Amino acid sequence: MGQELKRKTTVIGHRNPDTDSICSAICYANLKRLVTGDEYIPGRAGHVNGETQFVLDYFGVEQPKLVEDVRTQVKDIEIRKTKGVAGSISLKMAWKIMQENNVVTIPSVREDGALEGLITVGDITKTYMNIYDSSILSKANTQYSNIIETLEADLIVGDENAYFDRGKVLVAAANPDLMEFYIEPHDLVILGNRYESQLCAIEMGADCIIVCEGAGVSRTIKKIAQDRGTTVIATTYDTYTVARLINQSMPISYFMTREHLITFDSDDYIDEIKEVMASKRHRDFPILDKNGCYLGMISRRNLLGAKGKQVILVDHNEKNQAVAGVEGAEILEIIDHHRLGTVQTMAPVFFRNQPLGCTATIIYQMYREAGVEIEQKIAGLLCSAIISDTLLFRSPTCTSVDERAARELAQIAGLDIEKYAVQMFSAGSNLKDKGDEEIFYQDFKRFTSGKVTFAVGQITSLDENELKALKPRMLAYMQRSHETDNLNMIFFMLTNILTESTELLCVGQGAVQLAAKAFHLDQDEETEKSEPVVSLPGVVSRKKQLIPELMLAEQM
């Protein structure tokens, strides 16, 4: 039977996440869980910046799990939960398990869960068709308990936990005088009810005799067998049937494949394992967890109905900002406040896009619409996101709806919103211990306009001197990044929250000219500057003030 999967949904923001992206994912996942009772998990598509970490620490909330790829993995699909068996079980038992479960492969698993090997229908068939060695039973180190089980027999004398590990198997069809010439010490002898044959086999040093057809075993034979250390087994089967069945008592460990096993990890992506499966003749492949323990089996058929991961996108709707693999995911919802982008979905989705300053404002509205009480911690996260995205209501993207929501949330969270905002922005602009790369990609987004691909990073700070010191570092890093990031242009906003202004660093052919054109500046004057920097007083919003102007200018 396949494993019944209770599918979970990941709620996730954009790459290089900001406070709104992280807090909105956490709060919306919480709302969906409360409303539906299903499993919604917040995720993050990148590292948490200093400002956001301050917010999470302030309200005692853990970072969402890092999700770098949402392609379908083995753990997302139904796998066959074929139970692992011990390598000591008999071929007959293995065959029975295969028939009962309608499988052709059984995994042998140790007590600690580690995969030991695989036994297939083909392996069992070979034991019938290809084995002519009368010593095979002892070479396979067959336990007497397996023989008893296979022959549906009774143990008369001996220890069922002992092993038949020396000698050959033979049928005593001749009279006792002739038997003396072909029975050797340690053999296993299949015989009938003749007292003389039983006694002869024991005296010749047989390790085991199997008495067939339900024949009785006398006290004398039992006593002699006990004294000589001979195991005595009695079965109702006739000698032909016993001779035919006894090879089925051998342990699967002797025949199973142990080396060069093709296994997959539960975290493997199915589009990467398809080629491996197609190139092999095996029907089934074992799945292991990250510790190497056996989980189940997978076949090509399992991949046919594989569904993508269930995902809800917040704070973005563009493919180049989304987590890797989103094109193969099952997008259920998009909650955003940006321009319409390029994310394509395989089916209609719930899409809520409002011209507000922050995604968290939309999610606040959804809590109210659902009649769900907003707890203090959630209120704090939503309020922090609005403060961050609107620069405490200074950004032109901010609306009266955003401010009202933030102030009500601050009241629920017990925040002095102005004092808290200063603490939060200070945490975000504390760049002393950060390297150039970390600062550069802290809030970094890619955009496409026609055939031009560009990216815009942004740092907001309360400290003018910090921004001045940062300028030469970022320009130098941008030059290096431009050579490797496959972008036509790169822009970086050094935004001063107090003066509500931005210095825009420009790298790439035509970048300065495009910025000057976008903001109606003297292009010759900007081009002649020693530094490729454009001063933009009153500009603080990437989304509303910078990106639309750049795209409009590029298309003109």
pLDDT at 284: 85
Mean pLDDT across the stretch 100-104? 89
Residue 449 is assigned to a structural domain of this protein: yes
What pLDDT is stored for residue 1 in this prediction?
A: 39
Instruction: Report d(CA 538, CA 469) in Å as an integer.
Output: 21
Does a structural domain hold residue 197?
Answer: yes
Q: What is the pLDDT of residue 9?
A: 95
Measure the CA–CA gap between 16 and 11, rounded to whole angstroms: 15
Q: Is the dihedral of CA 137, 140, 144, 147 positive or negative?
A: negative
Please list, residue by residue across 399-429, b when 16 or more beta carbons sit within 10 angstroms of its beta carbon and e when fewer do: bebbbebbebbbebbebebeebbeebbebbb
**Residues, the chain, total?**
556
The span from the CA of 336 to the CA of 342, in Å, is 13
236: CATH: 3.40.1390.20
Same-domain status, 285 and 321: no
Of 211, 226, 249, which residue constitutes the final position of a domain? 249
Angle between helices 376-390 and 19-36 (to 10 degrees): 150
Question: Is-contact 321 20, C-beta < 8 A?
Answer: no
- Which residue range forms the structural domain that includes residue 364? 9-71+309-428
Residue 526's pLDDT is 64
User: Ramachandran region of residue 21, left (φ > 0), alpha (ψ -120 to 50) or beta?
Assistant: alpha
Q: Is the pLDDT of residue 432 over 80?
A: no
Q: What is the mean pLDDT of the chain?
A: 90
Q: Is the pLDDT of residue 52 over 60?
A: yes
Q: Which amino acid is at 242?
A: V
Question: Closest Cα partner for 164 from 183, 147, 182?
Answer: 147
131: in domain:
no
pLDDT for the residue 458:
92
260 and 114, same domain (yes or no):
yes
Please compute the mean of the pLDDT values over residues 273-277 and round it to a whole number: 84
Q: Is residue 152 part of a domain?
A: yes
Average of per-residue pLDDT across 452-465:
89
Residue 282 belongs to a domain with what CATH number? Answer: 3.10.580.10
Residue located via tokens 């907003």: 374
The better pLDDT of the pair 184, 31 is held by: 31
What's 313's domain CATH number?
A: 3.90.1640.10
- Report the number of distinct structural domains present in the chain: 4
4: in domain: no
**CB burial readout 379-389, b (16+ within 10 A) else e:** bbbbbbbbbbb
Q: Provide the whole-model pTM.
A: 0.68
Q: What is the mean pLDDT of residues 305-322?
A: 89
Q: Are 262 and 276 in contact (CB under 8 A)?
A: yes
Which residues, at least 6 apart from 97, have a Cβ–Cβ distance to it below 8 Å? 83, 85, 103, 106
pLDDT for the residue numbered 450:
82
Residues 447, 494, single domain; the answer is yes
Backbone angles phi, psi at 86, to 5 degrees: -75, 145
Judge if 522 and 547 occupy the same domain: yes
- What whole-number distance in Å separates Cα of residue 230 and Cα of residue 207? 5
Residue 299 has pLDDT above 50, yes or no: yes
β 9-12/40-44 pair status: parallel
Q: Are residues 388 and 334 in the same domain?
A: yes
| Res 479 pLDDT > 80 | yes
Considering the domain architecture, whether residues 24 and 118 belong to the same structural domain is answered as no
Asked if 83 and 57 sit in the same domain, the reply is: no
CB 496 within 8 A of CB 471: no
Domain termination site, one of 375, 409, 428: 428
Q: Report the CATH number at residue 488.
A: 3.10.310.20
Last residue of a domain, one of 232, 249, 266: 249
Residue 504 placed within a domain: yes
Question: What number is the average pLDDT over the span 230-253?
Answer: 94
80 and 66 inside one domain:
no
d(CA 512, CA 526): 7
| Tokens of residue 182, six digits | 């072909």
246, 169 contact by CB (below 8 A): yes
Instruction: Work out the number of other CB atoms within 10 angstroms of the CB of residue 161.
Output: 8
| Domain co-membership, 363 together with 511 | no
157 within some domain: yes
Alpha helix segments (H runs only) across 371-463: 376-390, 400-413, 417-428, 436-440
Instruction: With respect to residue 1, please indicate whether it lies within any of the assigned structural domains.
Output: no
Identify the pLDDT of residue 356: 95
DSSP helix/strand/coil, 73:
strand
Query: Distance of CA 253 to CAs 88, 117, 131, 163, 408, Å?
Result: 6, 8, 16, 14, 68
Give tens-digit pLDDT for 402-423: 999 999 999 999 999 999 998 9
296 and 346 co-located in one domain = no
The reply to whether 211 and 145 lie within a common domain is yes
Q: Which residue has the higher pLDDT, 552 or 527?
A: 552
Considering the domain architecture, whether residues 365 and 289 belong to the same structural domain is answered as: no
pLDDT confidence of 48, banded at 50, 70, 90? very high
pLDDT for res 79? 84
